[in-house]
Amino acid sequence: MTISETLTGRAAAALDVSRAARSSKVAAVVMVAAAGLLAALPFLVFSTVTDTLVNLFVLIALASMWNLLAGFGGLVSVGQQAYIGIGAYAVIALADLGVQPYLALPLAALTCALFAVPTSWLAFRLRGDYFAVGTWVIAEVYRLLVVRIDSVGGGSGKGLTGLSGIDQTLRGALTYWIALALALATIGGCYLLLRGRLGLALMAVRDEETAAGSAGIDVGRAKRLVYLVAAAGCGAAGGVITVSSLSVNPDSIFSVQWSAYMIFIVVIGGIGFIEGPLLGALIFFGLQQLLADYGSWYLVLLGAVGIVVALWLPGGLWGMVRGRTGLSLFPVGYHVRMR
């Protein structure tokens, strides 16, 4: 063995390489406890509280999917409302066929993933700003197609069947638990996905697509896979919205406002961080609850907050926290310390 090999071996032995820092492990315990408390909430508070929290969980799920798509995959979409609408109408159609609406939710997510396959072939022919505008146009096309289908209510929308036999309190609790499970599944799914080889491939494609391809990464496969995952997640969220509201309207469910919410939440929370959508959704939801009665001033304040964060905190609020403390609740990289 040479002297250089000996020194290299000693240096490696002096290093401790791990996935998570001690603070991340403590944060994981706190988050598990918080998830348990949230799961028990229907037994502790009135249904009005849990009904309101369903909206928060839906926002977390939607923002996590958009962050996965844009923050890690580099695919800035303004048309994810297409899959929210498809998922919502899939639940309506399946319920009309006799499928229990709660059981229809995973089928709605699968339906959106199937729709995303041909859609991706069309959308991926576009790049950059053209991709963003193209996804919005595709969403509008889907809305116009749904409006012309009389069996799902056409332009007037349609009510959800199949839940009338369930007690209202039990139905509210079930909807709450499913929405909570969706939020946890989207966050956990993003975490597991980004810890693997696909996560490294996505971030390489996001940073420089040409270089990633020359390094042996299947760029088309990586982008298409994350697009399908995001479509399925948005479709499941659309299904939860339908189960919660018990009806669907094409103009509201296919509204570009959903994409605006996702973008706003991720920008203020921190794009490219798994924690970003969670923090951004909490802030957005809080502002929504506090300022909704102020009419247009509510929207003005939201816009002002977005502008301030975009100009002075390009990494979002979590980017600022991460830069100052090094804290990572969902570590996808490695920590190297001296023994």
Residues 252-284 as b/e (b if ≥16 CB within 10 A, e otherwise) read: bbbbeebbebbbbbbbbbbbbbbbbbbbbbebb
Give the model's pLDDT for residue 124.
92
Q: Which pLDDT belongs to residue 338? A: 62
Binning the chain into helix, strand and coil, the percentages to the nearest 5 are 75, 5, 20
8 A C-beta contact, residue 220 and residue 127: no
Long-range (24+ apart) CB contacts under 8 A made by 153-160 are 153/92, 153/248, 155/250, 155/251, 156/249, 157/247, 157/248, 157/249, 157/250, 158/92, 158/247, 158/248, 159/246, 159/247, 160/91, 160/92, 160/95, 160/101, 160/242, 160/243, 160/246, 160/247, 160/248
Handedness of CA 187, 193, 195, 198 (dihedral sign): negative
> Whole-angstrom Cα distance, residue 62 to residue 237?
7
Q: Quick one: pLDDT at residue 78?
A: 93
pLDDT of the chain along its 339 residues, tens only?
Answer: 555 545 455 544 555 555 555 666 777 788 889 899 999 999 988 888 999 999 999 999 999 999 999 988 889 999 999 999 999 999 999 999 999 999 999 999 999 999 999 999 999 998 888 999 999 999 999 999 999 998 888 888 999 988 877 888 899 999 999 999 999 999 999 998 888 888 788 878 777 777 777 778 888 888 899 999 999 999 999 999 999 999 999 999 999 999 999 999 999 999 989 999 999 999 999 988 888 777 777 778 888 888 888 888 888 999 898 888 877 888 776 555 666
pLDDT at 2: 58
Q: pLDDT at position 7, please?
A: 40
The reported pLDDT for the residue numbered 24 is 65
* Per-residue confidence (pLDDT) for residue 305, from 0 to 100: 85
Residue whose C-alpha is closest to residue 242's, from 161, 150, 164? 161
DSSP type of residue 16: E
